[in-house]
Amino acid sequence: MNPKNTHQIDTAEVVLPCSGLDATVVFFTERLGFRIEAIFPADHPSIAVLSGYGLRIRLAGVSRMTLPDNGSEAALAPGVLRLYCRDPAALADGASELIAPNGTRVQLIAADPPLFVPPLVPSLVLSQLSDRADWSTGRAGMRYRDLIPDRQGGRFIASHIHIPDGGPVPDYVHFHRVRFQMIYCYKGWVRVVYQDQGPPFVLQAGDCVLQPPQIRHRVLESSPGLEVIEIGCPAEHETVADHDLPLPTPALRPQRQFAGQRFVRHVAAAATWRPWRIAGFEGRDTGIAAATDGLADVCVVRPATTATATRSPQWSHNAELLFLFALAGTVTLHCQGHGTVRLNAADSLVVPAGLNCAIAESSDDLELLEVTLNAVLGGRLTGPAPIRSSR
């Protein structure tokens, strides 16, 4: 179909096979609350059109449908209809599915189910760019490189995202059903717009944003060769289009809470470097720890001096996630039971809780992106990432 002619479409409907029309109409209207829009022919009805909950259904007798090659009514799939309910159990006395007289399976789904975050399966994960030359094509034509292939049991995802050509991005207003999500601009620039955060703005290399759960946003355009690092929890989460909300929104509400989190735009050029938790290094705080009430922390780290080798004492942590991405330079770590691990630019490392590590050496131009999610497993959320050091 030529897209320019879609204005010719008035409506759409789902066609379901139906041999017992009367009983099926009664089921959909009296049991589920649909209403009749049309029914015909009058002398012997074989088609009924129903509507409800933003859906239009055509119940069609077998003689009114195109049959499979064998002409068998039994070969027609009965169809599945999902109804998203505020309280599915109340609609069907605890059942999660109803069967209509025509065989249609009516699945009763919670309209706003709680976010499922899989249990953590911790592991040390080293992702090196030289080993990950394969990039997959994802949403809006963006290229994705998976930095945590095992997903830590499905709890976390980290992606290296690349837009080679730049220019306008074929994106749309959308949001994500997540617990945590941040974007770090690694190379190039990208113009974006966020709900209640004012007009579109440009993220430059070194900038990052915290995208609170369900904040509406859109990617507008990018420079050629844009690269960003995106980290989310859980690994599999929905991206939902919002066709009704135009961006930018008229109100500026920078302190608005989205599921207990505030939007953060960290501008690297205006950041202050302070001593890091390990002597000889300094970091710039992005403000994400404060905006998430301690759920997560994001920091960029570099050597504080120009010494050719910056070393650290042995350290470990008890956070859910400690993710390191080498933005520039090189760093070598000793990881207990895993020997020496070297990160070059665009390499990443997940360090599991309880594993003793130490920085053996780092180049003068080292810059590390460190992301921690620091809810103590099985307990309440705590403050800044609990890192333990010992000499």
Beta bridge partners of residue 49, listed in sequence order: 38, 58
| Higher-confidence position of 341 and 108 | 341
For residue range 270-290, list pLDDT tens digits in order.
999 999 988 889 999 999 999
Q: What is the mean pLDDT of residues 15-25?
A: 88
The domains of the chain, with CATH numbers, are: 12-110 (3.10.180.10), 125-390 (2.60.120.10)
pLDDT value at 24 more than 60: yes
Q: Given this model, what pLDDT does residue 131 score? A: 57
Question: Distance between CA atoms of 209 and 192, rounded to whole angstroms?
Answer: 10
| Higher-confidence position of 87 and 134 | 87
Q: Given this model, what pLDDT does residue 381 score? A: 30
Q: Which of 42-46, 114-118, 306-310, 336-340 has the lowest mean pLDDT?
A: 306-310
For residue range 56-74, list pLDDT tens digits in order.
998 987 655 544 454 444 4
DSSP-assigned states of every residue in 162-217: EESS-EE----SEEE--SEEEEEEEESEEEEEETTB-S-EEEETT-EEE--TT--E
pLDDT value at 307 more than 90: no
Question: Distance between CA atoms of 151 and 178, rounded to whole angstroms?
Answer: 15
Q: Given this model, what pLDDT does residue 305 score? A: 78
Hey, how many other C-beta atoms are within 10 angstroms of the C-beta on 177?
Answer: 16
Q: Which of 93-102, 316-325, 364-373 has the lowest mean pLDDT?
A: 93-102
- 3-state SS assignment for residue 119: coil
For residue range 223-236, list pLDDT tens digits in order.
999 999 999 999 99
As given in the structure block, the two tokens for residue 157 are: 């995802």
Largest CA-CA distance found in the chain, in angstroms, rounded: 93
Hey, how many other C-beta atoms are within 10 angstroms of the C-beta on 299?
Answer: 21
Question: Distance between CA atoms of 366 and 310, rounded to whole angstroms?
Answer: 10
- 3-state SS assignment for residue 5: helix
Q: What is the mean pLDDT of residues 198-213?
A: 98
